[in-house]
Amino acid sequence: MRLHRNLVLAVIDSLNYIFNDGLYADKVVEKTLKRDTRWGARDRKFIAETVYDCVRWKRLYNEIAGTKNHFTQENLWKIFAVWAVLKGIPLPDWRQFEGTPVRRIKGKFDELQNQRVFKESIPDWLDALGEKELGKQWAAEINALNQQANVILRVNTLKTTKEQLQKLLLEETIETQFIKGYQDALQLSERKNIFRTEAFKNGFFEVQDASSQLVAEFLQVAPGLRVVDACAGAGGKTLHLASLMKNKGQIIALDIYANKLKELKRRAKRNGAHNIEPRHIHSTKVIKKLYDKADRVLIDAPCSGLGVLRRNPDAKWKLQAEFINNIQKTQAEILNTYAKMVKAGGKLVYATCSILPSENEKQVENFLNSHKAFNFIAEKKILPSVSGYDGFYMALLERTE
């Protein structure tokens, strides 16, 4: 593989925005890829994957390069050189690569494999927390969370079938596979820009990880029910609920962010989902009006996001211990308040994209201890090391009285 200067410069610029200006990696990559219309699919792939690699392995590369967390232009080139050497890519005869200690880089890499904080490139506090909560299992999970995520599509069954979509995408040279145990999922054989396809423009699919696709199914919805998606966001799971309900019944999509609900409206239109009613939570009245009114309530609670580190590697560096403590208080409040929307005989799913028991089963346990009207029915813990997909947790509860 040969390195091209304009692509490497795009990577260096992106890392500068992420490491020095604190911008989110996905937004930076999205913007960078629009910089030059002449870049082909391979060029774009190189930029995106290299940026994500350098973000994912930031602590490890920083330690090998000896850049001491000072991300000057010169140091960013050193970090890039570490990436290239470890990937076995020959360094061109450029001024920025003069005197790169290739053998020392490889030796230092081998030496650091004995310490998990460097081997898995994570902050000390996060490693300590993971071990405290998951014990020996933590090593396997953080290793799995450092692998590149697959691209998974969820077929919009309001408009097409899995077989039809697979055939349509193949006509646009996009190869996919079915995934055993996931009824509406297709996995891309290789990463491609699927948002330019006719199938996407026509609302035949959404991009949604396989684990995330299990949440709406877990709620046991049916056509004609009244369902509340209490933390709908931009509506990935809301749209899945609409498909499962065959556009019949009512889905009330709540969120505290009006701009996310606006995006949900746009997506719902493309999906042909007509039974969704977005409602902005601008005061507690919005929730109180729904007390005892819902057959089903989905609480896709805000969380640490540790289960989705593979697609958001910069969360490792942005997360703080204090945030995790605070978010657990928020989760408990949301569960206490939003559970009141479930009517007698109705069901509730509490879900997070975290793998920490303190955000998951412990929250459910505390809730059930103080809410005797609810019974525990089932739970699913999805570990990345076992499933190969994102880490998720979901618990199904029923209100009996």
Report CA torsion sign: 263, 145, 187, 221: negative
> Rounded to whole angstroms, how far apart are CA atoms 2 and 256?
48
Could you give the strand order of the β-sheet that contains 374-382, starting from the edge strand earlier in sequence? 276-280, 250-255, 226-229, 294-300, 342-352, 392-399, 374-382
Shortest CA distance to 244 belongs to which of 181, 180, 183, 178? Answer: 183
Write phi, then psi, for 227 (nearest 5 degrees): -120, 135
Tabulate helix, strand, coil % of the chain (nearest 5).
50, 15, 35
Q: Is 353 a catalytic site residue?
A: yes
From 54, 231, 303, 353, active-site residue: 353
Output the six-digit token pair for 95: 């001024």
Output the six-digit token pair for 49: 């994957």
Residues in the chain: 401
> Rounded to whole angstroms, how far apart are CA atoms 17 and 349?
38
Output the six-digit token pair for 108: 């230092």
Shortest CA distance to 154 belongs to which of 221, 261, 239, 230? Answer: 239
Beta pairing partners, 399:
374
Output the six-digit token pair for 11: 């990577």
> Rounded to whole angstroms, how far apart are CA atoms 261 and 105?
48
Output the six-digit token pair for 165: 């979509």
State the DSSP code for 395.
E
143: helix, strand or coil: helix
Q: Residues with Cβ < 8 Å from 107, sequence gap 6 or more?
A: none
Which of the residues are catalytic? 353
